[in-house]
Structure 1
Amino acid sequence: MRALLLLGALLLSTPLYAAQLVLDLGTGSRTWKTEELLKHPRVQTITIADDVSYKRTMSYRAVPLAALLTGVQANDHVQAVALDGFAAELSAAPLLGTTGSRAWLAIEDPAEPWPALSEGKPGAGPFYLVWTDPEAGRISPEQWPFQVARIQRLAPVAQRFPALLPDPALATSDPVNRGFALFQKNCLACHRLNGAGDAQFGPDLNIPYSPTEYFGTDFLKRYIRDPQSLRQWPQAKMPGFSASVLTDEELTMLVDYLKHMAGRKVKP
């Protein structure tokens, strides 16, 4: 009996390192455990002044993401997949940067768990992609995926999902094509369009209807800026996109892309 009590006390006093992060970067798969990452030679404590998810100052034990992206080049494309199906599409160049905006993998220590994101919701752990000086690179809220389970190098979005492509007759500089680039950065992490995309989080933005078909343009822009100003419910998850993240000109181009794609429906 005493032996069992001692064993129980030992288990309770020993942190559990059950979480795993899978990195699939095209040169073989590597799985990192929480314990390994917390002992990584590049791990350090960082402070995020205005954390996107927690809406306040947070401190984390974190590793520069570039230190984990072995073999990834600046022109590559990376996807971070969360436990809930959120799939952030990320250009590799900002992730590899060492000046200005800098990407970090924050690691939750089971002995010091992070707080809940809000009442009744889990925390951002076990792994969270955070940024120092995000304003320098105009980092979008969608580029802060939390509860990350996998990071993988993939072909670019346009190559993987041709159903997302605007009319090929349009010039590269056309506002619709610029809107497509903004859609990839700000929307594709949560939404599919024409059934295309890896996200399992939000509704399709073209099938059966594009929001441009049931929202007036002004109200759609207002919804993107501040979803809760139009629709309020406890389970709402869509963040607002401020002018510092998405300028008025960019917002117009994004809506132009959605309008354009409403005429290019491809049923999945």
Structure 2
Amino acid sequence: MKNVIAAHLRPLPAIRAFFVCGLTLLLIAVSNFSTAAEPVLELAFSKQKQKLARMDLLRHPDVRTITIPADVSYKNKMEYRAVPLKSILRNLHGISTVQFKSDDGFVANIPTELLSGASEPWLAIEPANAPWPELKPGGRSAGVFYLVWIAPEKSNITPELWPYQIAVISEVAALPERYPEILPDASLKKDSAEYRGMQAYVTHCASCHQLNGGGDAKLGPDLNVPFNPTEYFQADFLRKYIRDPAAVRHWPQLTMPGFSPTVMDDAQLDDLLAYLRHMAQRKLIPVDGKN
């Protein structure tokens, strides 16, 4: 009888070892999943390449609770756990433009002088246990990483310079240097309405729209191919559309903001329209996704 019992008991150590091994693998898998799921902000600079996890940024010694009196995205007073951008980007010397790429295709190319100026940019970080409000019912919040400004009025920080859902921050050259296809005719003077309008496009439109296939953003349609908005909008309605898109056409997925005169004054709007009309005669048709 003892031999029979012993025969039944002998496999138990092997079963226990199998169980322990399986449990260990399960715990490793759960740990890896947790690590992989932790949101990460990528810094892609020639002198600074890092991937910063949310939990590490929230432990940064410079993290503070800050108040934004008039948040651009939430249209309300907001409080955030945030760290000064200068505490994250350690060396911007010699860099003209810093690019903030969001995971929805929005791209903000911000001159370094603004990031170093009096408007005080901070990186707001959404805690996992205290999510921010949804931007739209049923949609996402502005997190996990959101660029906010303490005093935007000091440097005329426009709404396009408040990128949210940021995935990558990197150094880049100015947009016209990287994408000559957005340039007006070289025979025009640099202080012409068309050149000034290109700058208005770069400042206000290039965060969402390419032109002639040139640009970083992938959120909105190209503004020149296959057709330029000056070709299918009456002039008065195009102005109205730029000022208040929902007043001209509306659908649930509408994301384009209106550009009030405080953001883009009438002179800038005139220049932008002059640039678009000019570029309608300078189409570069992409072939298989390339110019």
Shared fold (TM-score greater than 0.5)?
A: yes
For the residue of structure 2 that corresponds to 1:57, the secondary structure is strand
Deviation larger for 65-74 or 116-125:
65-74
* Letter matched to residue 45 of structure 2: L
2:168, 2:144 → 1: CA distance?
A: 12
* Letter matched to residue 226 of structure 1: D
Q: 2:103 corresponds to which residue?
A: 83
Deviations 1:170-214 (A, max 9, x none): 111112111111111111110011011111100000001100111
Alpha-carbon distance, 1:37 to partner = 1.1
Please show how residues 160-239 of structure 1 align to structure 2 within 5 Å: 160-239=178-257
For the residue of structure 2 that corresponds to 1:81, the secondary structure is strand
Is 1:151 the equivalent of 2:160?
no
* Letter matched to residue 112 of structure 2: A
Is 1:53 the equivalent of 2:91?
no
Q: Which residue of 64, 86, 93 corresponds with 1:73? A: 93
Q: 1:31 corresponds to which residue?
A: 51
Alpha-carbon distance, 1:109 to partner = 0.7
Across the aligned residues of Structure 1 and Structure 2, the Cα RMSD in angstroms comes to 2.0
Residue identity (%): 47
Aligned pair in 2 of structure 1 residues 110, 16: CA closer, same or farther (>3 Å)? farther
Relative to its length, the structure with more helix (as a share) is 2
Aligned pair in 2 of structure 1 residues 62, 74: CA closer, same or farther (>3 Å)? farther
Q: Larger relative CO (CA 8 A, sep 6+): 1 or 2? A: 1
Deviation larger for 16-25 or 48-57:
16-25
Q: 2:140 corresponds to which residue?
A: 122
Alpha-carbon distance, 1:221 to partner = 1.2
Which runs of 5 or more structure 2 residues have no equivalent in the other structure? 1-22, 287-291
Deviations 1:219-262 (A, max 9, x none): 11111110000001111000011111111111111111111111
* Letter matched to residue 136 of structure 1: K
Alpha-carbon distance, 1:73 to partner = 3.0
1:266, 1:70 → 2: CA distance?
A: 39
Is 1:250 the equivalent of 2:268?
yes
2:252, 2:77 → 1: CA distance?
A: 24
Which runs of 5 or more structure 1 residues have no equivalent in the other structure? none
Q: 2:18 corresponds to which residue?
A: none
Kindly name which structure, 1 or 2, has the bigger radius of gyration based on alpha carbons.
Answer: 2
1:267, 1:211 → 2: CA distance?
A: 16
User: Aligned pairs, how many?
Assistant: 256
2:35, 2:183 → 1: CA distance?
A: 48
Q: 2:82 corresponds to which residue?
A: 62
2:201, 2:87 → 1: CA distance?
A: 28
For the residue of structure 2 that corresponds to 1:183, the secondary structure is helix
1:255, 1:35 → 2: CA distance?
A: 45
2:62, 2:37 → 1: CA distance?
A: 19
2:183, 2:173 → 1: CA distance?
A: 15
TM-score, normalised via structure 2 length = 0.84
> Does the Cα contact within 8 Å between 1:17 and 1:33 map onto a contact in 2?
no
Q: 1:107 corresponds to which residue?
A: 125
Aligned pair in 2 of structure 1 residues 256, 235: CA closer, same or farther (>3 Å)? same
* Letter matched to residue 168 of structure 1: A
Deviations 1:137-186 (A, max 9, x none): 22121111110000010111111101001111111111211111111111
> Does the Cα contact within 8 Å between 1:74 and 1:93 map onto a contact in 2?
no
> Does the Cα contact within 8 Å between 2:43 and 2:51 map onto a contact in 1?
yes
Deviation larger for 41-50 or 226-235:
41-50
